[in-house]
Structure 1
Amino acid sequence: SLLLTLTLIPVLASLILKPKEERDTLLVRWIKRGYLPLLAWSLINKKTVVVSAIVLLVASLALFPLLGKEFMPTLQEGSIMWRVTSIPSTSLEQSIEISKKIETALAKFPEVETTLAMIGRAEKGETADVNYMEIYTGLKPRDEWTRSIEDLADAMREELEKTVPTSVIAFTQPIQMRVEELISGVRATLAAKLYGEDLAELDRLSNEIKNAIANVPGVSDLSLEANIGKPQIRIKVDRESLARYGLNADDVLTVVRTGIGNQPVSTLIDGVKRFDITARLNDASKASVEAIRNIPLRSASGAIVSLAQVAKITTAEGYSFVRREQLQRYAVIQM
C-alpha cells in the first residue's frame, strides 16, 4: 500500500482530478484591496515594522500594573454559602437551634430552593469548633429571581443579623470559599494577619485595626475571629497547703487528669487489638464547680481532704484556639 501511495496514486490524481479556478468571495476581495498594499509596504520597510512592534509591546507592558488582577474571578455559582460564627461558649445543642432559626429565616425568600447546615467539621475535614457553621443555600434558576445576587445577599444578611444578632454572618459562595481557604488559610475574601507573642496585646491591636478598617469605603463582613470566651475551670495548687497535708502537686494533677480528663490507666490486649482502660469519676462528681471542689484526696497520713483545701479553683474565660504560622502566634481580621 505504501508503494502504491508513492507511485500510482499521484499519477491517477493528476489525470482524474482537474484543477478548478479559484475565486475569492466579495468580502475577501474587499479585504485584499487594503491588505496586499499594506503587506507589500511592510516587506519593503522591515526595520520600521519591527521597531514599531517592539515599541507597542513595551508600551503594553507599561500598562500592565494598571490592570486589575485576580487569581480566580468571582463566579456566579447559583448558590450561597453563609459562614456563621457564634461565641466560643456555644454548645452543639445551641448551634443546632441557631441553624434552625437561620434556615427558617432563609426559607422566607422566594429565590431560595434548599438550605443545608453543616456544624463543626467532618471526620476528615478542616478543624472547626461547634460554634462555627456553614449554611449552604441553594437558589432557584436565575430567571426566577426578582433581584441580583448582590441585592439578594444584602437582604438575606440583614434578615439573618436580626434573627441571630449574637453571631457573625459572612457571605460567600461554595467554590469561592474553598479557593480562599487554599490561598490564605482563612475563611474570608480578604484577611489581615497580625503577628505577636502576647495574646492580650494581639486582641487589643486587632480590635484597633478592625475599627480603623471599618472606616474604609466598600468594606463589608468585617469581623475578628471569636477565639476568646471559652468557659474554663482553672485549678491552681497551693503548695503550702499541699506540704501541710503531705501531698505534692503531682498527686493533685493525677486526680484531675484521671478523674476529669479520662487519662488511660492501663491497656487491654485482645490479640492484635489494644483498648485503653480509663478510670474516671462519676458524672455527679464533676457536674459543677462545687462538685469539683469537693473531690476527695487522701493525704500522707491517710486523712481525706477536699480538692478545694489544697488548690484554688476558679472559673474564667479562655481562648478556644490559638492560631500559629511559622511558629508565631497571630490574630486575623477578616472581611
Structure 2
Amino acid sequence: VPGVAQAVAIGGELPEYQVNVNQERLRLYDLTITDVVEAAGGAHSTASGGYLVNVDNFEIPIRQQSRVTGSEDIANSVIKYHEGVAVTIGQVADVRLGPALKRGTASEGGNPAVILSIQKSPGTNTLALTDNLDALFDQIEPTLPAGIVLNRDVVRQSHFIDRAVHNVTKVLGEAILIVLVVLVLFLMNLRTTLITLTAIPISLAVGLLMMDAMKLGLNVMTLGGLTVAIGVLVDDAIIDVENVFRRLKQNRAMVESDRRPFTEVIFDASNEIRPAMVFATVIIVMVFLPLLFLQGLEGRFFQPLALTYMISILASLVVALTVVPAMCRFLLKGKLGGTHEDRDGFLVRVLKRGYEPALRSAIQFRAWVLGAAGLVTAAALLLASTFGTSFLPSFNEGTFTVFLLAPPGTSIVESDRLATEVEKQLVEIDGVRSVSRRTGRAERDEHAEPVSNSEVEVTVDAGRSRVEVRDEIDRILASIPGITTMVGQPIEHRLSHVLSGTPAAVAINVFGEDLSELRRVAKAIEGELQSLPGARDVNASREVMITSLPIRYRHAELAAVGLSPADAAEQVREAIYGEVVDTVNQGVRQYDIVVRLAAADRES
C-alpha cells in the first residue's frame, strides 16, 4: 500500500525446519553438534549447474534439484560414515517443521493473537492511508479461515485526528452562535449579523489557502491554532461593521440636506477605525512571532501552531479591510432599524445607564480602584505560580497504554501468564471496547524490548468517562503484586520517550561510576517520590542484576580433546541457541533450517 513505511507483526509462531539433536545418539556415533551443523548446511543448495553450450543446436540450462522440499530431505542427509555405514541426520536428530523460539507474544481480549503495527511514511495523509488500508482489509477479511477475527480498531491515529477536526468544527459552530446572539442583542440588525458571520468562513478559507501555499498540512498543532484563532476571527469584522452601522445611523438622523453620500459614509467609517484595527492585529501577531524562532523539538511542535494562528488572524484583517466594507455597501441600504432607528438598542441603552455612574465612581475613587486592581493582579500572579507545568497538555486519545514490567529475567512463559491475567480483568471494565497486548518484542522488529515487559492497549468506548476508566485500571493494577506498572497513552508515551528517553512525564537522571551506589540512590529517590502528593506510577529504571548461568572453560581439559575455548563456545552456542544453517524458499514463504539440541537436553 503506498504510504506504508513499515509493518511489524508480533504474536503467533514463525515456522522453521528444526533439527533437534539428541546428545546420546551423538555419543553413539562419536559426533559433535558442529558435525550436524555442517551436514544440515549441505542438505540444501541453490547452486546453478551452468548450461550445455550446444545440444542439437540448442543451449540447455542445467537445473539442479538440490533444494529442501520437506523435513525428510534434511533427515536423509549424510553426516559421515561410521564403520562403513552412512549415518544420517535423522539417526541423531528429530527433524520436523516447528515453531521458532519466541521473544515476543501477543493477545487480544485474553486470547492469542497476531498484532500488526503499521507505520506511515513521512508526509503521508493519515486519513487517506487509513481508508486505503480499510479497503485492503475489506478484501482480506472474507478470505480468512473460520474462527479468525480481524480487529482493525485497536489503536487508530485517524480517530484522534477526527476528534480534533470535530473539536474545531464544534468551536466554529459555537463561535457563530455567540457572534449571532451578541450582534443581534447589541445592534438589533440581522444584516450586520450576516456580514459579520460571513467573515468567519471567508477568513478560514483565505487562511487555509495561505497554509496550503506554505506547505502546512492539517495536524494536531495546526488544528489547535485554528481553534484558538476562531474566537478572534470576527473581531476586526465586528469593529468595522459596528462603526459603519453607527455612522450610517448618525447620518440618517441628520436633516436630508446635511446627509453625506452613502458610500462616502461607509468609506470614512471604515478608515476611521482602520489604524487602530491594523495596529491591534499586528500586535497580536507579534506576540506569537517569537515562537517561530524556537529550535529543536519545541520548534517542531509550536511553529505550526503559531504560523496557523498568525495566518488566520492576518486573513481576518484582510477580509475586514476589503470584503466587509463591500458587503456593508450592498446590505446596509434602506432603513437600519425600527421606528427609532436613530436610537441605540435596548441592551446598549441599559448598559450605558449602568456604565455612566460606574465610570464616574471609578474616576472619583481612582486611587482605590488602581490599588484594588494591583492587588488582584498580584494575587493572580501568586496563584499562577502554584500551577503545575508540562510540555504539552494531556490529550484525549481514546486509548490507554498500560505497561507491565515483570522482574528482569522473568521468562516469556511467565510474563505471558501474568499479562494475560491482567488483560482478562481489564476487559471486564465497563466502558472498555477492546484490550490488546504485546509482550516482549517482535522477531523482526528493531525495537528492543525484554520478554519481561508487556504493553497493553486499552481502547475506551466513545462517550465514556476517561477518568472513571482510568480509576478502574489503577484499581486493578494496584491489586497485582510483584510487577511494576505505568499508565499512559500511545502518543503521550512516544512524546515522553522523545523528550526524556522514558515513558514517564518526569524523568530524573542520576550519574556516577559506582553501579551499586547508583542503584541504591535510585531506590532511595523512588521511595521519596512515592510519598509525594500527586505522584503516581513512580518507577526507578535502574540497572538490575539478573540470574545467569556462567560457563568457565578449563583450558587443559579442552586441549586434551583438541578444542580451543573458541571451539567450545561455538558448540555451546549451537547447542543452546541454535545455528541457522540456511534458508529455504518455498513459493512466497521462507523457512530457516536451524540446528540445536532437543528441548529436553537444552533445559537439563
CA distance in 1, matches of 2:531, 2:426: 29
Q: Structure 2 vs 1, CA of residues 106 and 150 (structure 1 numbering), >3 Å: closer, same or farther?
A: closer
Q: Structure 2 vs 1, CA of residues 97 and 226 (structure 1 numbering), >3 Å: closer, same or farther?
A: farther
The answer to whether residue 550 in structure 2 is matched with residue 234 in structure 1 is yes
Q: Which residue of 2 aligns with 1:211?
A: 527
Q: Which residue of 1 aligns with 2:498?
A: 182
Contact 2:429 2:469 in 1 (8 A): no
Q: Which residue of 2 aligns with 1:307?
A: none
Contact 1:86 1:167 in 2 (8 A): yes
The answer to whether residue 594 in structure 2 is matched with residue 283 in structure 1 is no
For residue 256 of structure 1, report the CA deviation from its aligned partner: 1.3
Give 3-state SS (helix, strand or coil) of 2:385's partner.
helix
CA distance in 1, matches of 2:373, 2:466: 50
CA distance in 2, matches of 1:102, 1:216: 27
Q: Which residue of 1 aligns with 2:428?
A: 108
Deviations 1:17-61 (CA, angstroms, capped at 9, x unpaired)? 568555431222334456689999x9xxxxxxxxx9999989976
Contact 1:78 1:141 in 2 (8 A): yes
Which residue among 480, 485, 495 is the counterpart of 1:169?
Answer: 485
Q: Which residue of 2 aligns with 1:70?
A: 390
The answer to whether residue 569 in structure 2 is matched with residue 256 in structure 1 is yes
Report the AA paired with residue 597 of structure 2. Answer: D
Q: Which residue of 2 aligns with 1:148?
A: 468
Which residue among 500, 509, 531 is the counterpart of 1:193?
Answer: 509
CA distance in 1, matches of 2:558, 2:423: 58
Which residue among 449, 459, 465 is the counterpart of 1:128?
Answer: 449
Richer in helix (by share) = 2
Q: Which residue of 2 aligns with 1:27?
A: 347
Give 3-state SS (helix, strand or coil) of 1:116's partner.
strand
Q: Structure 2 vs 1, CA of residues 65 and 235 (structure 1 numbering), >3 Å: closer, same or farther?
A: same
Q: Greater shift after overlay, 80-89 or 116-125?
A: 116-125
Equivalenced residues, count: 262
Q: Structure 2 vs 1, CA of residues 227 and 132 (structure 1 numbering), >3 Å: closer, same or farther?
A: farther
Deviations 1:145-192 (CA, angstroms, capped at 9, x unpaired)? 698245323322234x1xxx3322222233332232222111223332
Give 3-state SS (helix, strand or coil) of 1:223's partner.
coil
Per the normalisation by structure 1, the TM-score is 0.56
- Asked which structure has the greater CA Rg, the reply is 2
For residue 13 of structure 1, report the CA deviation from its aligned partner: 6.9
For residue 72 of structure 1, report the CA deviation from its aligned partner: 2.0
Report the AA paired with residue 410 of structure 2. Answer: T
CA distance in 2, matches of 1:28, 1:199: 74
CA distance in 2, matches of 1:214, 1:22: 69
Q: Structure 2 vs 1, CA of residues 155 and 212 (structure 1 numbering), >3 Å: closer, same or farther?
A: closer
Q: Structure 2 vs 1, CA of residues 39 and 189 (structure 1 numbering), >3 Å: closer, same or farther?
A: same
Contact 2:433 2:460 in 1 (8 A): yes
Q: Structure 2 vs 1, CA of residues 254 and 228 (structure 1 numbering), >3 Å: closer, same or farther?
A: farther
Deviations 1:84-105 (CA, angstroms, capped at 9, x unpaired)? 0112222333333233222222
Give 3-state SS (helix, strand or coil) of 1:192's partner.
coil
CA distance in 1, matches of 2:383, 2:482: 47
Give 3-state SS (helix, strand or coil) of 1:154's partner.
helix
The answer to whether residue 397 in structure 2 is matched with residue 84 in structure 1 is no
CA distance in 1, matches of 2:355, 2:496: 49
Q: Structure 2 vs 1, CA of residues 285 and 73 (structure 1 numbering), >3 Å: closer, same or farther?
A: closer
For residue 83 of structure 1, report the CA deviation from its aligned partner: 0.5
Give 3-state SS (helix, strand or coil) of 2:508's partner.
strand
Give 3-state SS (helix, strand or coil) of 1:194's partner.
coil
Contact 1:82 1:135 in 2 (8 A): yes
Give 3-state SS (helix, strand or coil) of 1:253's partner.
helix
Give 3-state SS (helix, strand or coil) of 1:228's partner.
coil
Report the AA paired with residue 195 of structure 1. Answer: F
Q: Which residue of 2 aligns with 1:225?
A: 541
Contact 1:115 1:137 in 2 (8 A): yes
Contact 1:87 1:229 in 2 (8 A): no
Richer in strand (by share) = 1
CA distance in 2, matches of 1:80, 1:267: 42
> What's the C-alpha RMSD, in Å, of the aligned pairs?
5.1
CA distance in 1, matches of 2:387, 2:533: 21
CA distance in 2, matches of 1:146, 1:218: 18
Structure 1 residue runs of 5 or longer lacking an equivalent are 1-10, 43-51, 269-279, 291-335
CA distance in 2, matches of 1:246, 1:287: 22
CA distance in 2, matches of 1:102, 1:62: 44
Q: Structure 2 vs 1, CA of residues 96 and 263 (structure 1 numbering), >3 Å: closer, same or farther?
A: closer
